[in-house]
Amino acid sequence: MDLELARDELLFEVHKSNSPNKDYEKNLLITFFIKVDELVTDLSSNMWFVIGRALEMVKGSETGSGPQELVTCIRIVEREERIDNYYLEKKAHGSAFMPPGRPRQLRKKAFEVLEKTVWSRVEGNQLEDRSLNKAWLARYLEVCRKVIVDDLQLARAAVPCFPPDYQIYDRFVHMYHNCVCKRLREIAAERLEKSEVVQLLSWIQTYGILLAEYLSKISEESNNFQFRYHRL
């Protein structure tokens, strides 16, 4: 934003000066531009809302411009990463100046938001337990299977919305894999009945084979979408 750029340039000039009132002038500028920080916070909140619903955006189940809105957010993330890197590089060469709130590391935050969404998709599908339905585990595992397969199809469609170096499809695969493993460990740590242990082991074996075949098939196709990012 222009206001943020103006503030940072002024702060840098104060930083370079030999004024005895340097700290006072710095605090005065920060106070004067306090609304800039509020705008950044509001923008970030909106971005995380959109990025956290990346798959819904691609699917078209969210209001707004869908994929284009997601692309806009990712481009803001990338712009902020470039600004972070600019100041980090200057710092590495001896500059002690760093604008307030930087480095923001928005790319790292974006991945954290996506991983939180993936976890909610895996963990949040258990709607019943043994007290409500003796087949709760089999039903839950089947729902997980359907959700993961459907979501990874959407992740494949989301590839053009992200820069190629994000390797976003592979990241989604690893996120789901890690979250599924974590959830299975939680279930296995419970006091399962014998039938539930059999269901769990059977699901791990058969689903692992089927998922590996499915992923290898669509992974070959996902690379064809990478070149489209810069056209969106």
Quote the domain boundaries for residue 7.
Answer: 1-93
Total count of domains within the chain: 2
Distance, CA of 50 to CA of 43 (rounded, Å): 11
Residues 115 and 192 reside in one and the same domain: yes
Residues 116 and 73 reside in one and the same domain: no
3-class secondary structure, 105? coil
Q: Mind listing the pLDDT tens digit of every residue in the chain (232 residues)?
A: 678 888 888 988 888 888 888 889 988 998 988 898 899 999 999 999 999 999 999 886 555 567 999 999 999 999 999 999 999 998 888 888 889 889 999 999 999 999 999 999 998 887 777 877 788 898 899 899 899 889 998 998 999 999 999 999 989 988 998 999 899 999 889 888 899 999 899 888 877 776 676 666 555 555 555 445 544 5
Q: Does residue 102 belong to any structural domain of this protein?
A: no
The pTM score is: 0.83
Over its C-alpha atoms, the chain yields an Rg (Å, rounded) of: 23
33 CB neighbour count, 10 Å cutoff: 19
Distance, CA of 115 to CA of 123 (rounded, Å): 12
Q: Does residue 98 belong to any structural domain of this protein?
A: no
Residues 8 and 39 reside in one and the same domain: yes
Q: Does residue 216 belong to any structural domain of this protein?
A: yes
Q: Does residue 191 belong to any structural domain of this protein?
A: yes
Are the beta carbons of 29 and 13 closer than 8 angstroms? no
Q: Does residue 43 belong to any structural domain of this protein?
A: yes
Residues 112 and 195 reside in one and the same domain: yes
